[in-house]
């Protein structure tokens, strides 16, 4: 018996940590409902999960749009019979100060990064409650604790995710629903690659930036999406039955010290 046999998991974001998590949960026997706006990534995920023999419904869906989240939850429940797990990994990462960030960009960050977690909870928790419980894991960031400069909107969303995680955990604990967040440091995914490449960077520039980012972490390297997926899978599993309302850092020691190399 695998750890997620008979479970149905909704995962937002179809690249990076979302993709690694969908793979991990599917390998554990879960049926996957995945939502993303990157159509090419969605098609690749669909093909990969199908060829691995997993049950999966991969949908082109914008997780900041209520009807699209409602539709994804409904389609998944109809196909697989219910919902047990939600992993919220989709996000945008705008750069800017409060002065240089325009209001549309600010609102988009709030609605994609935080609003989507409200929406998956709003439509998903009633389904989880019908099953007698479940688990939600929200992907936050170390930026929710100690942020860099020029990421005002992004960092704000990550702090909000920590708070929303606690609120959801308290409100739904007696329904058997556990809610936690994970806060990664730098992880090798498309979001980090974009930061590493800048406007015109080469692949060598990206690797050099990854090395530099890694140096900032006491452990001396950046993390891999599979490492984050493994922590998420643990929090989704029955082994984490007493874990709720908490954040779990996975940052190579980044936030353990002050200016430590
Ligand atoms: N990679 C890192 O260094 C790092 C560090 C800390 C936190 N995180 C967080 O990890 C999570 C996953 O990011 P990642 O690193 O895998 O990068 P990623 O860019 O691969 O993943 C983000 C995904 O969100 C999707 N997305 C964006 N807007 C969407 C929308 N409106 N509707 C549906 N999907 C949408 C993107 O298409 C992409 O697939 C994010 O919440 C990110 O903030 C990443």
pLDDT in tens, 87-135: 999 999 999 999 999 999 999 999 999 999 999 999 999 999 999 999 9
- 181 CB near ligand 1 (under 6 Å): no
Hey, which of 12, 91, 182 would you mutate to test ligand 1's pocket, going by the most ligand atoms within 8 Å of its Cβ?
A: 91
Check pLDDT > 90 for residue 18: yes
Q: How confident is the model at residue 259 (pLDDT cuts 50, 70, 90)?
A: confident
- Catalytic residue, from 118, 154, 210, 248: name it: 154
- 69 CB near ligand 1 (under 6 Å): no
Nearest ligand 1 atom to the CA of 38 is: 37
pLDDT in tens, 195-234: 999 989 999 999 999 999 999 999 999 999 999 999 999 9
pLDDT at 167: 98
Check pLDDT > 70 for residue 239: yes
- 120 CB near ligand 1 (under 6 Å): no
Q: In order of start, what are the domains of the chain with their CATH numbers?
A: 8-185+226-248 (3.40.50.720), 186-222 (no CATH)
CA atoms of 117 and 136, how far apart (whole Å): 10
29 burial via Cβ count (<10 Å: 0-12, 13-18, 19+): middle
Contact yes or no for 231/250 (Cβ under 8 A): yes
Closest CA to ligand 1's atom 31: 62
Mean pLDDT in the chain?
97
Q: How confident is the model at residue 261 (pLDDT cuts 50, 70, 90)?
A: low
CA of 1 to the centre of ligand 1 (A): 31
To the query of whether residue 210 is one of the catalytic residues in this protein, the response is: no
């Amino acid at each position: 018996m695998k750890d997620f046999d008979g479970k149905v998991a909704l995962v937002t974001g179809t690249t990076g940590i979302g993709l690694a998590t969908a793979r991990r949960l599917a390998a554990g026997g879960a049926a996957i409902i995945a939502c993303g706006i990157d159509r090419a990534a969605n098609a690749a995920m669909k093909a990969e999960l199908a060829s691995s023999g997993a049950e999966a419904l991969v949908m082109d869906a914008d997780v900041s749009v209520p009807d699209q989240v409602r539709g994804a939850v409904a389609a998944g429940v109809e196909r697989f019979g219910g919902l047990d797990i939600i992993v919220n990994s989709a996000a945008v990462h705008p750069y800017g100060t409060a002065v240089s960030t325009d209001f549309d960009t600010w609102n988009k960050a709030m609605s994609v990064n935080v609003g989507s977690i409200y929406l998956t909870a709003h439509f998903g928790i009633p389904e989880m409650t019908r099953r007698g419980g479940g688990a939600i894991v929200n992907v936050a960031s170390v930026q929710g604790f100690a942020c860099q400069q020029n990421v005002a909107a992004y960092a704000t969303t990550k702090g909000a995710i920590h708070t929303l995680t606690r609120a959801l955990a308290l409100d739904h604990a007696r329904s058997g629903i556990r809610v936690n967040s994970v806060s990664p440091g730098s992880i090798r995914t498309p979001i980090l690659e974009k930061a590493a490449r800048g406007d015109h960077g080469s692949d060598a520039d990206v690797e050099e930036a990854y090395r530099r980012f890694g140096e900032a972490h006491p452990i001396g390297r950046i993390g891999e999406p599979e490492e984050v997926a493994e922590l998420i899978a643990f929090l989704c599993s029955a082994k984490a039955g007493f874990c709720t309302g908490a954040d779990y850092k996975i940052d190579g020691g980044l936030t353990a010290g002050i200016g430590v190399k």
